[in-house]
Amino acid sequence: MSELIAPHGGKGLTICLLEGDELAEEKKKAEGLKKVEISPRVKGDLIMIGTGGFSPLTGFMTKADWKGVCEDFLLADGTFWPIPVTLDVSKADADEIKEGDEIALWDPKSDEIMATMKVTEKYEMTKEDKRWECEKVYMGEGTPTAEEFWKIAKEDHPGVQMVMNQKEVNLAGPVKVLSEAEYPTKYKGIYLRPAESRKIFEERGWKEIAAMQLRNPMHRSHEYLAKIAIEVCDGVFIHSLVGNLKPGDIPADVRVKCIDVLVKNYFVEDKVVQGGYPLDMRYAGPREALLHATFRQNYGCSRMIIGRDHAGVGDFYGMFEAQTIFDKIPCPSEPGKALLCTPLKIDWTFYCYKCDGMASLRTCPHDKSDRVLLSGTMLRKLLSEGGELPDHFGRDEVVAILREYYEGLTEKVEVKLHGAATGE
């Protein structure tokens, strides 16, 4: 009997990824089905549904699910869920599909059929519907009114742009997933299914595991957060996003190298597990922090490290809004339907010259001038412009890897600073 936290939803890991003869038969059948093109975001969502990472989801959301998630953080059956997981198609495609039809979900980049799906519902997504979703899911304390939000969101928020650019109709229904795409081979040893991470944790005898979300290379602040987690849990799961990011973010293979060298030189290695997952960032700040905790529960983690501006973009969210949102979400009483993975809330951390070490706003009494403020955005900006990093910003071994990456770039992407990156 496992002593790890139970998967979300009360149904165990809901695996929709086919294998063996069943996979071969479904692939053959898929060739004769209507092909529907999917976006990179949907591709990542499919893989997470397939491997049980999105348990208890077994397909794409109905209109009732979509509305309940946006408005109340709840699926139609009352299970907690923080962000819509939907499949958008063009009106032309939707007109050719009837409820009850089976379709093949096709990734144009790899020319691969990723899944089959039985369509149980079609529902239109008007411009007003999309705007409503954006205001519910993406609007935070940094832009407290809809008017302020829309002044800048259409140009500066990649998550909002993604939703507004979705096609006109959503399809709902269960899926059978046929592929994990390039992830098992491209990120061999890093990409993990939830069942695999759970097995590792059980073999190590861990019960309490903290997940660390990463989309930037690990700097000293990340290192400090991970070590705090190790002090209070059995171990830490450094779980990197290996799906798509926005322009200017550092690719997954470079980040993995940075984590490898950091763990080898500065951690007790048997207290750390490194993994990767295939989602695209949604940049939904507080809502995405909840999503991160939800699917980390499926990977076996009982805690989710939530620091400053988690999953944020620009100044759309309050500095610690991703922490306080955990105190406001519904807690369904029916077994398995509530979020069980709890936040490990940690204040803004930095290196302090007077403290002569890493500290946080809770532990350091000194002035801002005595601190090296650490942020992934600032790190990317300084390195992309060939600038010098302040002492104690990052470990030398990590900085060397990043400098090599930036020196090899032929095209530079401007990195914009915002309040959370500068300490304003």
Catalytic residues: 215-216
3-state secondary structure of 247: coil
In angstroms, rounded to a whole number, what is the distance separating the alpha carbons of residues 196 and 239?
13
Q: Look at strands 209-214 and 303-306 and give their pairing.
A: parallel
**CA distances for 122 relative to 60, 74, 173, 238, angstroms:** 11, 20, 9, 38
Please name which of 296, 281, 304, 98 lies closest in space to residue 210, comparing C-alpha atoms.
304
Please name which of 216, 217, 221, 204 lies closest in space to residue 273, comparing C-alpha atoms.
204
HEC assignment per residue over 292-325 = HHHHHHHHCCCEEEECCCCCCCCCCCCCCHHHHH
Q: Look at strands 272-277 and 342-345 and give their pairing.
A: unpaired
Q: Are 301 and 342 in contact (CB under 8 A)?
A: no
Q: Which residue in this structure is represented by tokens 């936040």? A: 343
In the chain, count H helices and then E strands: 16, 15
Vertex 162: Cα angle to 157 and 167 (nearest 5): 150
Instruction: Note if the bond before 217 is cis, omega within 30 degrees.
Output: no
